[in-house]
A and B are shown apart, each in its own frame.
Chain A
Amino acid sequence: MAAGGGGVADPLSPAGVPCAFSPQSQAYFALASTDGHLRVWETANNRLHQEYVPSAHLSGTCTCLAWAPARLQAKETPQRKKRKSEAIGTSNQTDLLALGTAVGSILLYSTVKGELHSKLISGGHDNKVNCIQWHQDNGYLYSCSDDKHIVEWNTQTCKVKCKWKGDNSSVSSLCISPDGKMLLSAGRTIKLWVLETKEIYRHFTGHATPVSSLLFTTIRPPNESQPFDGITGLYFLSGAVHDRLLNVWQVRSENKEKNAVMSFTVTDEPVYIDLTLSENKEEPVKLAVVCKDGQVHLFEHILNGYCKKPLTSNCTIQIATPGKGKKSTPKPIPILAAGFCSDKMSLLLVYGNWFQPTIERVALNSKESHVCLVRDISNCWAPKVETAITKVRTPVMNSEAKVLVPGIPGHQAAIKPALPQTEEIENKRKLGENEVSIEERLGALDIDTRKEKDDLPQTNSFPVLLAQGLESNDFEMLNKVLQTRNLNLIKRTVLRMPLHAVIPLLQELTKRLQGHPNSAVLMVQWLKCVLTVHASYLSTLPDLVPQLGTLYQLMESRVKTFQKLSHLHGKLILLITQVTASEKTKGTTCPAQKAKLVYEEESSEEESDDEIADKDSDENWDEEDEEEKESIKDEDVDEENEEEDEDTEEKDEENGEDRDVASEKELNGDSDLDPENESEEE
């Protein structure tokens, strides 16, 4: 008796666990694992639908299983037949699952009710059941066993209808012809039986080892000219244990031919075979063969007559783990089963371990001969009880995800002006940009030399440190400077900083503003100072928009509320502070700045012009009363909103300017800001 160990112990039993997709829409996948559990998975969402442990799962493990055709449903009590039935559940529900066991009994399990429906035992097999086939029309069940017999069951009465000896050795596989009138059985040889009379119709040679699978591949004969009797001319496929060839046979009208018509070669013993039936002459048969080595081979072939050479597969599908890190190599994931979907264009793949397989629908559109899918199934190991009940899936939200908030580049792009215009201007400007960089380099030299020379007092060393930090991008140094809370210190530093460092400083500030809000508060003070003190300088820069675009967006998005009020407030503050600042600068002008300006040659024109303009305007504003200044200084305490507003303002205008005609800017040379402010004042 080959009981107990089930399929594993016997060397000549097919490899792989018994498993099957439910008919029609492949909604379920039933898998009887070697531990005796029957598990039914939902293919659409890869969820364990139910689990059933037969009471005798240890002594009689499941050796084969078959889904009943969809129309066949469990019916419970036998007495009610006379009554007029009004309604019975939905039609396309698949329900009954037949399980053959190692001890010869056959269980019918109802997946709708989740319980054993009936047990076919009396008069059946007394050895391992090798294969079960449902008849597609009348609900009969055919089973074959190691006890050399084939049994025809009537599932309506759960009784044996007929039992006959199928072979001299064990019968390993069965298949019913498409018209339902013939039965193929495979023992030592493959035999075709007439179901009505249980007589042998044809013999075929078969394989050297036990046949593990038999399948009809066509439902119509290749040449339609002859009258079709339901069987003649049809092809069928057989695969066997330890055999890397799948043979195709044709049922011929003459009784002589017993050898295979053609064969398919695969890399290992076939474990699971699925095919799409070809309905006419032109349509090729598609065949998916899962091998013991975990690969799927796909064949596409129009069956037509002999072919001596074994055919190789059109496409091979493999699955592997991604292989984390450099050292670990990707490991193959075995594919357990593969079934064609009803559209014949995609394949359901079942892979992983039989305890918790993953089911995936793969579209078959690639023309490559070898496909390797990389799948990460490491997290599939933990049983997902929680999701099984609530059906909630949580998509991964990891830190790698990019977060875009208003003001961060990418959230909003500057509105681009018409293309041809900008190109011209950019050409012109390229020179200017170069000059700026030269200027910066010179400035850097200058500062370095100066630093070595004199030890300035602390307030004075801040601008130096700042400039140095910006040059070298030294984080520590910048931190030291930028993290001061002393407002006066900030003001003085900004006043004394070299002009060329303004843009780098602003960029640094922008970067920091996007960081933690705590540090952003400090940066806002700096920003406010820089913009008030160096507004005039900034407004002269021709390429301000691309350089400070992000800062502009950042501020714009942050001051959405009370837009007009803050605009007004910002303008006023800008004016007042500039007035006060200019007064102060008159007293203490930074010597360093002047020394630097001497080096400038070309670009000095612009800047000096600005300076002059600046001073001019400053002088104009001198007539301001002192009172007003004070009153607004109080307002100064108001925070960031306003400060940011100034910039908003500023950039608004600049943007507008850019948008209009960029060349105009060059002509105007000086800023729009100052004249406008002036006009407002006056």
Chain B
Amino acid sequence: MVEQERVRVVRCGGSELNFRRAVFSADSKYIFCVSGDFVKVYSTATEECVHILQGHRNLVTGIQLNPNNHLQLYSCSFDGTIKLWDYVDGILIKTFIVGHKLHALFTVARAEDSVFVTINKEKPDIFQLVSVKLPKSSSQEIESKELSFVLDYINQSPKYIAFGNEGEYVAAVRDFYLSVYFFKKKTTSRFTLSSSRNKKHAKNNFTCVACHPKEDCIATGHKDGKIRLWRNFDDDKKYTYTCLHWHHDMVMDLAFSVTGTSLLSGGRESVLVEWRDAAEKNKEFLPRLGATIEHISVSPAGDLFCTSHSDNKIIVIHRNLEASAVIQGLVKDSNIFTGLMIDPRTKALVLNGKPGHLQFYSLQSDKQLYNLDIVQQEYINDYGLIQIELTKAAFGCYGNWLATVEQRQEKETELELQMKLWMYNKKTQGFVLNTKVNMPHEDHITALCFCNAEKSENPTLVTASKDGHFKVWILTDDSDIYKKAVGWTCDFVVSFEEIVTIWDSETWELKCTFCQRAGKIRHLCFGRLTCSKYLLGATENGILCCWNLLSCALEWSAKLNVRVMEPDLNSENIAAISHSSMGSDLFVFKPSEPRPLYIQKNISREEVQWGVFVPRDVPESFTSEAYQWLNRSQFYFLTKSQSLLTLSTKSPEEKLTPTSKQLLAEESLPTTPFYFILGKHRQQQDEKLNAALENELVQLPLTENIPAISELLHTPAHVLPSASFLCSMFVNSLLLSKESKSAEEIPDDVDMEEEKERDDSDEENDFTEKVQDTDNTDLGEDIIHQLSKSEEKELRKFRKVDYSWITAL
């Protein structure tokens, strides 16, 4: 029991989604993106996370579909491994141990048993593109140290490397040159742009590269917003390039559509540009995507695009440039000025979201609920513009009132401040602006707080500012006007650099002043419930003080470099997070006694910026004394890199993978009209196969197949699945009818076809052929000399197929 109740730090949201290009599955149903140590599988239709592929021990740096089996996914990581996943079920198939830190991953259909990765060997800044041979073996973990060098001195990001024309060449860019390596010729050609310091060419740097899927054409993006299309680059002299220029700032990413007819580009303008036929005049735009486009990817089926944005979202876009879905993580783009708050109404976490917005994030479902547009001004994506920033926000105690402060400061003296007071309108279930106050203070507002005394029906807001004033805003009774009066509530304290002053809310008098020669006070909070006579302060130079308000004396002080101090609303506990070079430590204590209730060392390596207690819906019951503080509320904190962490007693297996207990429902969709056609066909084949295996040679009647085909052909188009799926089936049935002349060949033929179908339908590729294909080899060899070369090739493929079902028959 005690063992189980170990509290651990659990990452609970806000993971990064935009680190690398997202990858589509072959049927565009799923989208994969790297997210910290995991790979996440999202459904493009519902925006839901279907699976989390976990197994890497460090940051995942690249993912690619297995070109030979589109139901499998390769991923590489800083931990030096390449892993092969079955993404449909979320199962790890294999691990290849490479050993080096892997920075990027590329796969090429032509190179069947090897993948390309970026590593750095000697110097920290020099990266190499190497190909890794992935040996075939049935074991789960395979060492694959067989590296062959391809290109040197490249950039680490995968955006700077592209494979073109089905893997005939690879293009890599860095700084001012483009190098192209041809695999057949094994030569490298290099093209350099002028990098002179004068204004015209100063921003010629390459920023990204993409290769045309069919033709010999390379598109490169540049820092000045130009896109260059390179042709004839197999010749060092005759090469040409054309320029496309629309972006006014750096081109962040480029992608060709599947057919290569159009090129997609995006950048800081947050506009997706589609260049049709590589011509400057044929442009289509999808504007207002919200934030800088970091990556663009195209689904292999060609019907969807997706863009990853700097505010941690992925937008799925239809072929006709219409956004269809948004996968949004915790918005990370801006600095978190507001800190973490809890909306008392929805129990959602509230913090800075998109620029000028407050985001409401549901902790239960780990999803963003919505962004509340506070500033209500068009956001212009441009470098160097000083935007209006949402700096402070506070909720009234029942969530009826919301106060926000926005500021914009261009120069030292030109501070623009605006405070808005929003009232929650129950009738329309939304916030309505009640009062707007321009320049509430003459200087930056440092704190904003609603009076949280429950008895007071009049909301009272206090703002403190750097100008040395604090103001109390109260709701006047006549109408919806706020009026200013000076004064303060018992429960509130104003601290100046070194001095703490306490004001009475009833008489608006200065009650007492604490002076501590200890340095600037960073945090202040009152004890709650039974400890409400205590006041706690944390100073900048690492001292935590506790004053007794009744005796006006310093109760105790402790040497602790407190970064975050948060009181729990449901209990007397206060959590303080200290930071040192070793990491951040968490202390939970009651103000009445200086001894902490609970200490957790090293909750994160980075500095913790904000923390908040979230009251639990259903109280938990931890029996052990050390964890009782977690019974009524849960503690969440946000680190500097903006990952949201929490403390949980559940083991990670329990929290994330209930596989052992999970009940799984099988998929069975029996009754589409199309199924009847194909199903009949398959059942027939199954029967035949059985017969064949029992060596009952049955003449396959030619005519029997023809109705099936004709039925297939006469089925109305709207009930047919995609042509690509039908095609192989259709061709197979044709093959069968033609080749089933000799009775002896029938079993093998049918066998083969069955396998082919399997291969098509589930792409079961187990690499365990050595064991299983023994009983088929004698049959297979019989045919080989009779079959054409292409068929031979196909047959070889089938060897890899799982034949275990045969033994089961």
Where the two chains meet, the residues of A that have a C-beta atom closer than 8 Å to any C-beta of B are: 25, 27, 42, 44-47, 49-50, 55, 68, 71-80, 83-91, 93, 96, 108, 111-119, 121-122, 138-139, 155-158, 322, 341-343, 358, 360-361, 373-376, 379, 387, 389-398, 400-406, 409-413, 415-416, 557, 560-561
A-B contact pairs, 20 of them (CB 8 A): A44-B369, A72-B662, A72-B663, A86-B92, A87-B53, A87-B91, A88-B91, A91-B654, A93-B48, A113-B50, A117-B669, A139-B664, A374-B426, A391-B368, A393-B370, A395-B431, A405-B438, A410-B482, A412-B484, A560-B442
B485 interfacial by beta-carbon distance below 8 Å: yes
Given known contacts A44-B362, A139-B663, is B669 in contact with A396 (CB within 8 Å)?
no
Q: Which residues from A are CB-within-8-Å of B429?
A: 46, 358, 360, 375
Q: Which residues from B are CB-within-8-Å of A111?
A: 46, 48
Q: Which residues from B are CB-within-8-Å of A115?
A: 45
Q: Give the contacting residue for B670; candidates A93, A117, A119; CB below 8 A.
A: A119
Q: Which residues from B are CB-within-8-Å of A561?
A: 413
Question: Is there contact, CB below 8 Å, between B370 and A392?
Answer: yes
Q: Which residues from A are CB-within-8-Å of B369?
A: 42, 44-45, 391
Given known contacts A49-B46, A402-B482, is B427 in contact with A156 (CB within 8 Å)?
no
Chain B, range 666-694, C-beta contacts under 8 Å to A: 666-672
Q: Give the contacting residue for B346; candidates A49, A83, A96, A361; CB below 8 A.
A: A361
Q: Which residues from B are CB-within-8-Å of A91?
A: 654-658, 662
Q: Which residues from B are CB-within-8-Å of A114?
A: 43, 45-46, 48
Question: Is there contact, CB below 8 Å, between B52 and A77?
Answer: no
Whole-angstrom distance between the alpha carbons of A87 and B38 in the complex?
Answer: 11
Whole-angstrom distance between the alpha carbons of A381 and B756 in the complex?
Answer: 52
Q: Which residue among B427, B476, B480 has the maximum number of chain A CB atoms within 10 Å of its CB?
A: B427
Question: Is there contact, CB below 8 Å, between B370 and A391?
Answer: yes
Chain B, range 622-676, C-beta contacts under 8 Å to A: 654-659, 661-672
Question: Is there contact, CB below 8 Å, between A404 and B364?
Answer: no
Question: Is there contact, CB below 8 Å, between B665 and A90?
Answer: no
B437 interfacial by beta-carbon distance below 8 Å: yes
- In the complex, what's the smallest C-beta–C-beta distance from B582 to chain A, in angstroms? 31
Where the two chains meet, the residues of B that have a C-beta atom closer than 8 Å to any C-beta of A are: 29, 43, 45-46, 48-55, 86, 88-93, 140, 290, 323-326, 328, 345-346, 348, 354, 357, 360, 362, 364-365, 368-374, 376, 413, 422, 425-440, 442, 471, 476, 479-486, 617-618, 654-659, 661-672, 762, 764
Question: Is there contact, CB below 8 Å, between B46 and A113?
Answer: yes
Question: Is there contact, CB below 8 Å, between B438 and A88?
Answer: no
Question: Is there contact, CB below 8 Å, between B92 and A119?
Answer: no
Q: Which residues from A are CB-within-8-Å of B422?
A: 395
Q: Give the contacting residue for A74; candidates B413, B484, B665; CB below 8 A.
A: B665
Question: Is there contact, CB below 8 Å, between A71 and B55?
Answer: no
Q: Give the contacting residue for B659; candidates A49, A80, A88; CB below 8 A.
A: A88
Whole-angstrom distance between the alpha carbons of A398 and B668 in the complex?
Answer: 54
Question: Is there contact, CB below 8 Å, between A85 and B91?
Answer: yes
Q: Give the contacting residue for A400; candidates B362, B413, B480; CB below 8 A.
A: B480
Q: Which residues from B are CB-within-8-Å of A47?
A: 370
Q: Which residue among B348, B371, B667 has the maximum number of chain A CB atoms within 10 Å of its CB?
A: B667
Q: Which residues from B are CB-within-8-Å of A71?
A: 658, 661-663
Q: Give the contacting residue for A89; candidates B52, B140, B372; CB below 8 A.
A: B52
Whole-angstrom distance between the alpha carbons of A390 and B483 in the complex?
Answer: 37
- In the complex, what's the smallest C-beta–C-beta distance from B291 to chain A, in angstroms? 11
Question: Is there contact, CB below 8 Å, between B88 and A87?
Answer: no
Q: Give the contacting residue for A396; candidates B89, B433, B670; CB below 8 A.
A: B433
Question: Is there contact, CB below 8 Å, between A342 and B617?
Answer: yes
- In the complex, what's the smallest C-beta–C-beta distance from A75 to chain B, in angstroms? 3
Q: Give the contacting residue for A79; candidates B48, B90, B427, B764; CB below 8 A.
A: B764
Q: Give the contacting residue for B762; candidates A42, A74, A79, A376; CB below 8 A.
A: A79
Least CB separation from B374: chain A residue: A395
Question: Is there contact, CB below 8 Å, between B357 and A45?
Answer: no
Q: Which residues from A are CB-within-8-Å of B53?
A: 87
Given known contacts A111-B46, A391-B368, is B438 in contact with A403 (CB within 8 Å)?
yes
Question: Is there contact, CB below 8 Å, between A90 and B49?
Answer: yes
Given known contacts A91-B658, A393-B371, is B428 in contact with A156 (CB within 8 Å)?
no
- In the complex, what's the smallest C-beta–C-beta distance from B258 to chain A, in angstroms? 23
Q: Give the contacting residue for A397; candidates B52, B90, B354, B376; CB below 8 A.
A: B376
Question: Is there contact, CB below 8 Å, between A392 and B51?
Answer: no
Least CB separation from B53: chain A residue: A87
Given known contacts A80-B86, A343-B617, A360-B429, is B436 in contact with A557 (CB within 8 Å)?
no
Question: Is there contact, CB below 8 Å, between A374 and B427?
Answer: yes
- In the complex, what's the smallest C-beta–C-beta distance from A72 to chain B, in angstroms? 5
Given known contacts A71-B658, A87-B656, A322-B427, is B373 in contact with A76 (CB within 8 Å)?
no
- In the complex, what's the smallest C-beta–C-beta distance from A352 to chain B, in angstroms? 11
Least CB separation from A117: chain B residue: B667
Given known contacts A389-B323, A396-B433, is B657 in contact with A402 (CB within 8 Å)?
no
Question: Is there contact, CB below 8 Å, between A113 and B29?
Answer: yes
Q: Give the contacting residue for B364; candidates A25, A88, A379, A415; CB below 8 A.
A: A25
Question: Is there contact, CB below 8 Å, between A406 and B439?
Answer: yes
Q: Give the contacting residue for A112; candidates B46, B346, B376, B659; CB below 8 A.
A: B46
Given known contacts A75-B667, A393-B371, A412-B484, is B413 in contact with A90 (CB within 8 Å)?
no
Whole-angstrom distance between the alpha carbons of A90 and B46 in the complex?
Answer: 16
Least CB separation from B650: chain A residue: A91
Given known contacts A44-B348, A89-B90, A401-B434, is B326 in contact with A389 (CB within 8 Å)?
yes
Given known contacts A73-B665, A118-B669, is B49 in contact with A396 (CB within 8 Å)?
no
